[in-house]
Amino acid sequence: MVDVSRKEATRRVAVAAGSVTLSAEAFRLLRQGTLAKGDALAVARLAGIQAAKRTAEWIPLCHQVPLETIEVDIALAARGRAARITARAEARWTTGVEMEALVAVSAAALAIYDMTKGIDRGAVIGPIELLEKSGGRSGTWKRGLVR
């Protein structure tokens, strides 16, 4: 692991996003909340939150970060039949929370896949990407901004 003991604790925020693209039938059942396994959106939100809190167990050499907040939101886009997942992680710490936000999105996407796979094994996860981060020595970064 990288030594962060000499770094200053600052407010760290990261936002990540990803999507799960589904068949028409799987998307319809997801939107209606009538999947056989239950409320996939609620389960996916909880899976994302739970996974973010355990990121250091998922990712080798990743620091354990005391999260102050993790938010997981899922919006359904009828055009494209996609569940768009956004996660926002925040902590006051010596290292960033990008991995926590990315893990939250990944776990939420996997939960949606798990709950819809009986109808649509061909569901597609991705792309999963960091949208922005702030705090620490490197400051603020936003996807798409020219530096």
Q: What is the pLDDT of residues 29-49, one digit of tens each?
A: 999 999 999 999 999 999 999
Per annotation, catalytic residue among 3, 39, 73, 114:
114
pLDDT of 89 strictly over 80? yes
Percent of the chain with pLDDT over 70: 98
Evaluate whether residue 9 is within a structural domain: no
Q: Return the CATH number at 38.
A: 3.30.70.640
Bond into 127 cis (ω within 30): yes
The pLDDT tens digits of the residues spanning 47-62 come to 999 999 999 999 999 9
Structural domain total, the chain: 1
pLDDT of 146 strictly over 70? no
Q: Is 120 a catalytic residue?
A: no
Evaluate whether residue 3 is within a structural domain: no
Evaluate whether residue 101 is within a structural domain: yes
- Banded pLDDT at 4 (limits 50, 70, 90): confident
Evaluate whether residue 132 is within a structural domain: yes
Evaluate whether residue 98 is within a structural domain: yes
pLDDT of 147 strictly over 70? no
**DSSP class per residue in 51-120:** HHHTHHHHSTTPPP---SEEEEEEEEETTTTEEEEEEEEEEEESS--HHHHHHHHHHHHHHHHHHHTTT-
Q: Which structural domain range is residue 29 located in? A: 21-136
Evaluate whether residue 146 is within a structural domain: no
| Mean local confidence (pLDDT), 86-107 | 97
Compute the mean pLDDT over every residue in the chain, rounded to the nearest whole number.
95
Evaluate whether residue 72 is within a structural domain: yes
Encoded amino acid at 91, one letter: A
